[in-house]
Amino acid sequence: MRQSQSLIPTLKEVPADADIKSHQLLLRAGFIRQTASGIYSFLPLGKRVLKKVEDIVREEMDRIGANEMLMPAMQPAELWKETGRWNNFGPELMRMHDRHEREFALGATHEEVVTSIIRDEVKSYKRLPLSLYQIQTKFRDEKRPRFGLLRGREFVMKDAYSFHDSFDSLDETYKHMYEAYKRIFSRCGLNFRAVIADSGSMGGKDTHEFMVLSEVGEDIIAYSDQSEYAANIEMAPVVTTYSVPEVAQKDMELVETPGKKTMQEVADYLGHGLDQGLKAIMFKVDDQLVLVVTRGDHEVNDIKLKNLYNASIVELASEEETRQLLGAGFGSLGPVGVDNKVDVIADTAVEFVRNVSCGGNKDGYHYINVNPGRDFQVKEYADLRFIQEGDPSPDGKGTIQFAKGIEVGHVFKLGTLYAERMNATFLNDQGKANPMVMGCYGIGVSRTVAAIVEQFHDDNGMVWPTAVAPYQVHLLVLNSKNEEQASLGDQLYEELIQAGVEVLYDDRKERAGVKFADSDLIGIPNRITVGKRAADGIVEFKQRSDDEKEELTIEQLRDKFTSFIGK
């Protein structure tokens, strides 16, 4: 494409309302423009990258035997009422009505539509399993759209759905999807992790999120430095083994700790490490009050607490409730002498501490030289804390590190929830009707584009991985008014196109400095510059990811063409 005939409106300034690099660069390099809050137009370069990612997704979905289809954006409210999500989905679901006042949802996801199709068309186990996917514009009315393509209100998704006659069959497809997702994000050049995630309240079983590692990510990933293990920090079990220190138990003593409330303040005041104090926090677990004790250097993971009690809701007790029951406020709580008033449970690590401090259940006082078993009783020891960097990896291989991640994909075993609510049954080989077992699998395609930019940029602009670059070669003519340069540029442009290379040709009547700056900003992997040595048949070649430039004869350049093709 000749740049003079394309729409690539680059910006010198960083747009005021763009907080993160991908948003800034996609705007500055002319890949996208905002049409309304959280709603973007993809300009030609942005559309090209989007299509490259789509094509990779499509190839990998097709490879595992998934069938591409296209369901409508407009979905009758009746279907959403069948699953209860018309009411439960919340204001994120865009709603509208047609000229006959019939209500519709604008597709945020398609479980309802696809299940309605399958229940009508598939009646027998002989037609299962079945995997379907689509690549399509989705709508979600985010309360606070932000970060450009990372959290928009209209975006491109790949969503896939699988239907099965058994959980074993679901497990198999889930594994294929999981592997396909790994191939997709690898082919996009991304540094990512498949992360064990919370299946939440969707009634599902296993679920993995695919997270692109990035400082702007909103989730924390705990991953092993020596294996593929990775989990959302909420989901990682702690498998650390502790041992009792070989010290004599000293006498417990109540000491004044005036105005010291945080663990750090108390530890500093008492002159010991954070791990030599105990933290006690009171929770309301489905309306039952529970005092949870951890080491001072550990944090309570409320999802583990929730799972331990098999509870629906876990929240912090109020300071008033705490004071009423234990006689002290938040900064001075401890497990000593309270097991007759409240369940005391503790993280595994607590059993192994000796001569530690804890709150005195009296404002401004702490006990010192406290020892579990002797000085307080615990109803149950369990894994109740968040994993920490340096902990052993739960799979036994390596040590845990933390990273932030952008969720770009999600695979989910739905089970029979939707099939039951929508009455999607099949006849098994005994002629008996059973609800179908389902899985769903999403990829944020436009979000992936932004995630790639987050990982691949430098101070001068984007640095596209070849597989998803808008073009493979950026051909620059430094002085378009110089006939030798213009004519060599035109000739190379034609040759590159003939050779099947995707080339953007900067034939604009702009200064060389503008062209170089735009080229770095746009970030096409290979740059060919036709400049002053055009008359000698010499051009300059440079890779965007590399500082090195080399001068090449046209013949040497032609040899390079082949390496651009098909990448």
Report the interface residues with a second copy, using CB under 8 A.
1-2, 4-7, 9, 30, 33, 35-36, 39-44, 46-48, 50-51, 65, 67-76, 91, 94-96, 98-99, 102, 104, 106, 113, 116-118, 120-122, 126-127, 129-132, 134, 136-137, 139, 141, 143, 153-154, 509
The minimum distance between CB 471 and a second copy, in angstroms, equals: 12
SS3 state of residue 113: helix
**Residue 273 CB, nearest distance to a second copy (Å)?**
49
Q: How far is the CB of 72 from a second copy (least distance, A)?
A: 5
Tokens of 420: 């039951």
Shortest Å, Cβ 454 to a second copy: 21
User: ∠99-100-105 over CA atoms, to 5°?
Assistant: 80
Distance CA 138, CA 323 (A): 49
Q: Which C-beta is closer to a second copy: that of 8 or that of 222?
A: 8
SS3 337: coil
CA 106 vs CA 93, 137, 439: distances in Å:
7, 10, 22
| For a second copy, the closer CB: 130 or 308 | 130
Please, which residue, 139 or 441, has the CB nearer to a second copy? 139
Write the single-letter amino acid at 401: Q
Specify the residue, 139 or 283, whose C-beta has the smaller distance to a second copy: 139
Q: How far is CA 179 from the centre of its chain?
A: 17
What is the total residue count of the chain? 567
CB of 87 to a second copy, least distance (A): 16
Nearer to a second copy, 13 or 459 (CB): 13
Q: Residue 8 CB, nearest distance to a second copy (Å)? A: 9
Quick one: DSSP state of residue 15? P
Residue whose CB is less far from a second copy, 334 or 470: 470
Tokens for 98? 């047609």
C-beta closer to a second copy: residue 146 or 542: 146
Q: In whole angstroms, how close is the CB of 191 to a second copy at the nearest point?
A: 27
Residue 316 C-alpha from the chain's centroid: 27
3-state SS class at 548? coil
Which lies closer to a second copy via its Cβ, residue 361 or residue 448? 448
Separation CA 477–CA 465 (nearest Å): 24
For a second copy, the closer CB: 153 or 284: 153
What secondary structure letter does DSSP report for 430? Answer: T
Task: Output the smallest distance, CB 424 to a second copy, in A.
Answer: 14
CA distance 4 to 193: 41
Residue 282 CB coordination number (10 Å): 20
- State the maximum Cα–Cα separation within the chain, in Å, rounded to a whole number: 94
Backbone angles phi, psi at 34, to 5 degrees: -80, 130
Separation between Cα atoms, residue 566 and residue 552, nearest integer Å: 22
Neighbours of 339 (CB within 10 A): 14
Q: For strands 538-543 and 526-530, give the pairing.
A: antiparallel
- Minimum distance of a second copy from residue 98's CB (angstroms): 5
Residue 427 is classified by DSSP as: E
Burial class (CB in 10 A: 0-12, 13-18, 19+), 563: exposed
The minimum distance between CB 267 and a second copy, in angstroms, equals: 46
- CB of 148 or CB of 405, closer to a second copy: 148
